[in-house]
A and B are shown apart, each in its own frame.
Chain A
Amino acid sequence: MDDDGLPTLAVWKFASCDGCQLTLLDCEDELLAVAGRVRIAHFLEASRAVLPGPYDVSLVEGSITTPEDAERIQRVRQMSRTLVTIGACATAGGVQALRNFADVDEFTSVVYAQPRYVSTLATSTPIAAHVDVDYELHGCPIDRRQLLEVITALLVGRKPNIPAHSVCFECKQRHAVCVVVAHGTPCLGPVTHAGCGALCPAHQRGCYGCFGPMESPNAAAEAGLLRATGMSEADIVRAYRTFNAAAPAFVELSRVTVGPPPAAGPGEVETERR
């Protein structure tokens, strides 16, 4: 609490696209109301004014990809009473965690003529791999309604009500036709964390897993379902290895899904597995 008696809120960015903290500014109808209930003490996307810590609540966006950021997150943790990670980068390494399955020096040489100028880690890791995290909010990007639920819950000191069930529940709730059953479209909905409101099935495409794994996904059943829709093993591995590539359940799913190598042409899959 600061002098006004208002809880202080800080927003931090690590390797990311800015989309999750932008979600806060995209709460066009609620932003000024939220700003009246907290003291925004550190939110550089929104304000030059920075108050010293400690902070009651820190929202952390982005993953850890540099030695400097591995140190910075420790300082952020020390200054934060409650630390909430927001989004796929902060909770699962983000799309930049695709380097975890590759040779980062080779990656650097593809993008930069002088790789020696670039300081980067071989991995992109979630915040929880470095410090204790009090709460994780999934999504690439996070959902505006879930963000407001977390902020308001923390303000009154209760546990946020964020269900960990699958996208399929939301699909049924909005009476969307199941794209797998109706059209044979590949869909990660059965193993993906709810939160988006089943956006993709409602737009006649399969879920591509941007909210990361649900609680206790059924890997074998999903593998069978994806194969039945015609996805190759390589397609399936790529689907899991996208925006939540470092989420343990998705890493595990991609392994279970691949299963025993197919009779012909296993080389490609094996190469991707590393």
Chain B
Amino acid sequence: MTHRSDRTLDVRALARVEGEGAMHVRVRGGAVEDVRLEIYEPPRFFEAFLRGRRYTEPPDITARICGICPVAYQMSACAAIEDACGVRVDGPIADLRRLLYCGEWIESHTLHIYLLHAPDFLGYPSALELAKDRRDLVERGLALKKAGNAIVELLGGRAIHPINVRVGGFYRAPAPSELAALARTLRVALDQALDTVQWAAGFEFPDFHHDHEMLALTTDGRYAIEGGTVATTGGLTFGPGDFEQHVIEEQVPHSTALHARLADRGRYLVGPAARYTLNRRWLSPLAREAADAAGLGEQCRNPYRSILVRAVEVVYAVEEALRLIDAYEPPARPAVDVPPRAGVGFGATEAPRGILFHRYGLDAEGLITTARIVPPTSQNQASIEDDLRRFVAARLDFDDERLTAECEQAIRNYDPCISCSTHFLDLTIDRG
């Protein structure tokens, strides 16, 4: 089985990721000849059927791209449409949006840490199996996830596909007393989040480093979540309006997700590791201390350690949520008026998995003429493939079962949100 210079290996289901796809690795003459992340999630054509819809509809419609990160789609859609209409939303409404987004970061990151990723490090097929031995750990994860969902449910109406988000703000703003009850839950969650960092810091991390250019939003004074300027570790900076000049999307035959690259620079990486590397100085002192104690340095270049970055970001999001609740003054009205006008608008926010870009063109009546959505996972595809190529090349002596399991883990490092969706990642390693 091992040390064959040409081999083929098939695994039919990569579990615990979001999205339908396949992994194909071909080894010839002892060298990795080809690596392809084949995403075959059926296309759903959101950009096509958004045309002709009213400008008020994308927050509800694009939420349905992903059940795990619907808030990200709602926030990028609102930002782009308000940009097109020349409206700026700030003050308490903007704070409520950031609070809502903190909720999504907490629930999505905790889902990934406990239910999708940690079982890899602990040698279990699932968190449900882990619960048979360590019920306390899984219960802690579920409680933390529930705290994130509690924020989304209070501000958004429900955890999956929130109903309370609209262009201009919200349909209903919460009363301070409702937020006070939430704060009690979050104070417990803060301890759970700190324990999570400490727990994950004890995992064994393979020695693996990459040098992808990293890209994330940045905002002076705080960790970027719901907006900001795009920056890269290579020194590029640009506004969301210039995103399409810098990020080129290309279709490749083996994937229904488009591949993105930086113009004249090539592959790049978005997501928690990129955010951490570019924005670490804006973390709260407590989150930075947790990161230091967990052994994260100034930057995160080992994709396996992304689980630690997620855990640190959960600490930050819980603290930030508490801060926003503490400072909350209800807005006079839950939304500002956004009268339509003809134009084009751009919006970019930090989804749990990385930057999510939207662009809409509107006509004078507010009907959508064009739509473009660039999700994080398609931006990461080329970097994931590059990791796998180098990862497999260094482990050709592993037997097929072990190599396959480790390739799956290497993909899960990036928390791919493939439709953003499920799980028929059909992993094929062709060595023959």
Contact = CB atoms under 8 A, between A and B. Distances in A.
Interface of A: 13-23, 25-26, 28-29, 31-32, 35, 40, 44-50, 65-66, 69, 94-96, 98-99, 102, 104, 106-108, 110-114, 117-118, 120, 140-141, 196, 199-200, 202-205, 208, 210, 235, 238, 242-243, 272
B163 A96 contact: no
A28 B423 contact: no
Interface of B: 13-16, 18, 20, 41-49, 51-54, 57, 60-61, 64-68, 70, 111, 115, 119, 125-129, 131, 135, 138-139, 142-143, 145-146, 149, 157-161, 163-164, 166, 171-172, 250-251, 253, 256, 258, 408, 419-424
Given A28-B142, A113-B250, A15 B158 contact: no
B67 A47 contact: no
Contact of A47 (B15, B43, B146, B422): B15
B43 A45 contact: no
30 contacts: A13-B422, A13-B423, A15-B41, A15-B42, A15-B44, A17-B67, A19-B64, A19-B66, A20-B67, A23-B67, A23-B160, A28-B145, A28-B149, A32-B142, A35-B128, A44-B14, A47-B16, A47-B126, A95-B44, A107-B49, A108-B43, A108-B48, A110-B51, A111-B43, A141-B158, A203-B171, A204-B171, A208-B163, A238-B53, A243-B64
Given A102-B48, A203-B164, A19 B253 contact: no
B145 A200 contact: no
Contacts of B45: 96, 98-99, 104, 107-108, 110-111
Given A18-B420, A31-B142, A112-B251, A47 B68 contact: no
Main secondary structure of the interface of B (DSSP, over half): loop
Contacts of B127: 46
Given A28-B142, A111-B45, A204-B171, A196 B158 contact: yes
A69 B158 CA distance: 30
B318 to A, nearest CB: 16
Contacts, number: 195
Contact of B15 (A44, A106, A108): A44
Contacts of B51: 110
List 10 A-B pairs, minimum CB-CB distance, nearest first. Answer: A19-B67, A47-B126, A44-B423, A49-B125, A107-B48, A28-B146, A98-B49, A13-B422, A28-B142, A110-B48
B163 A205 contact: yes
Given A19-B64, A112-B43, 5 more contacts: A17-B419, A48-B16, A96-B45, A210-B161, A272-B52
Given A17-B64, A114-B251, A50 B129 contact: no
B126 A46 contact: yes
Contacts of B43: 65, 108, 111-112, 118, 120
Nearest to A64: B42
Contact of A29 (B44, B57, B146, B164): B146
A204 B421 CA distance: 31
A15 B70 CA distance: 16
A113 B251 contact: yes
A31 B119 CA distance: 17
Contact of A48 (B15, B111, B145): B15
Given A18-B419, A22-B67, A22-B68, A141 B48 contact: no
A14 B142 CA distance: 26
Contacts of A15: 41-42, 44, 419
B118 to A, nearest CB: 13
Contacts of A66: 42
